[in-house]
């Protein structure tokens, strides 16, 4: 799967992933009101509004970007209708030829990880029929429980040509409470990075592994260290824009050829119309504002090379 992502990044010259992390606060009032008029003040109405919001944004940006990253929690908060909107969003993005990084941060004991891996990346067999329940292309996972929790995901990726992004050094302010602690001479995030490199060694295609890493843009010096520890791992970089990461801080995550990393922006794009910079588009033009924000992000990242 990683070769598909790299190919699309090269083609579009856009190491960018748009985080489809909607909240009702981001959804313009007219979309929510339309859904409520049809289905009342229900979870179904919220889910419909969110899917319509996603659909319009995808329609506006799909030709500019290689991938999207829906955060499943933003859908789970609306129960089963929200999860249905999540699945509809993935399917629609695939129709638009976008790769989908499912941001679910799963990870548990072996048998449970296997079930998670099948549900999000693989296929379940019902009688003689195999069905892909969710069918993401990549999945974010949490390695805190060790190899027992990670290997089932790696094995499922090998079966179905899928990929992973494993949490290594996250962008949130309190990540250092655990991730920066020393074990001997090495920080925990360095030890996790070394394991990511090992887990992906036999999945390398065209220079990169199907087993990638999540490293926050807010920690560029650590990103530089991890780039060396994980030479074959593609790095998913959250924290750009709204969380404080800047383009200048992104360079350590990339290799000299401009590959090796893909940068996420969520509310900075999907809620761009709420920013003063894009206020001229108004709520009715939220999708056009998102497109403009993607173009600006693309140019901003290009400026560092």
pLDDT in tens, 88-139: 999 999 999 999 999 999 999 989 999 999 999 999 999 999 999 999 999 9
**Given the structure tokens 């899917």, which residue do they identify?**
51
Q: How does pLDDT run along the chain (305 residues), one tens digit per residue?
A: 999 999 999 999 999 999 999 999 999 999 999 999 999 999 999 999 999 999 999 999 999 999 999 999 999 999 999 999 999 999 999 999 999 999 999 999 989 999 999 999 999 999 999 999 999 999 999 999 999 999 999 999 999 999 999 999 998 889 999 999 999 999 999 999 999 999 999 999 889 999 999 999 889 899 999 999 999 999 999 988 765 567 778 989 998 888 999 999 999 999 999 999 999 999 999 999 999 999 999 999 998 88
Residue from 208, 210, 258 nearest 232 by CA: 208
Say if domain 1-303 classifies as CATH 2.40.37.10: no
Whole-structure pTM value: 0.94
Domain boundaries, the chain: 1-303
3-class state of residue 266 by DSSP: coil
Annotated active-site positions, please? 105
Cα–Cα distance, 102 to 119 (Å, whole number):
11
pLDDT in tens, 131-164: 999 999 999 999 999 999 999 999 999 999 999 9
Cα–Cα distance, 289 to 272 (Å, whole number):
6
């Amino acid at each position: 799967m990683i070769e598909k992502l790299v190919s699309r990044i090269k083609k579009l010259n856009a190491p960018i992933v748009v985080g489809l992390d909607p909240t009702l606060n981001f959804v313009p009032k007219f979309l929510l009101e339309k859904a409520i008029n049809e289905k009342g003040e229900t979870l179904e109405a919220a889910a419909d509004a969110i899917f319509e919001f996603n659909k319009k944004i995808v329609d506006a940006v799909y030709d500019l970007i290689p991938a999207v990253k829906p955060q499943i929690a933003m859908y789970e908060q609306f129960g089963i209708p929200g999860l249905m909107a999540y699945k509809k969003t993935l399917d629609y993005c695939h129709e638009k030829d976008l790769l989908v990084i499912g941001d679910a941060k799963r990870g548990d004991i072996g048998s449970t990880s296997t079930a998670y891996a099948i549900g999000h990346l693989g296929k379940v067999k019902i009688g003689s029929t195999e069905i892909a329940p969710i069918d993401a292309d990549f999945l974010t996972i949490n390695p805190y429980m060790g190899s027992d929790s990670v290997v089932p995901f790696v094995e499922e990726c090998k079966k179905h040509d899928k990929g992973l992004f494993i949490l290594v050094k996250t962008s949130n302010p309190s990540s250092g409470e655990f991730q920066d602690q020393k074990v001997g001479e090495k920080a925990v995030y360095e030890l996790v990075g070394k394991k990511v490199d090992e887990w992906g060694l036999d999945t390398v295609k065209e220079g990169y592994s199907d087993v990638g890493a999540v490293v926050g843009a807010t920690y560029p010096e650590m990103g530089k260290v991890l780039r060396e520890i994980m030479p074959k791992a593609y790095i998913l970089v959250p924290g750009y824009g709204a969380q404080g990461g800047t383009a200048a801080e992104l360079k350590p995550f990339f290799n000299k050829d401009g590959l090796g990393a893909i940068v996420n922006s969520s509310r900075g794009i999907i809620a761009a119309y709420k920013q003063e910079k894009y206020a001229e588009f108004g709520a009715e033009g939220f999708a056009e504002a998102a497109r403009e924000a993607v173009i600006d992000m693309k140019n901003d990242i290009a400026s560092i090379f």
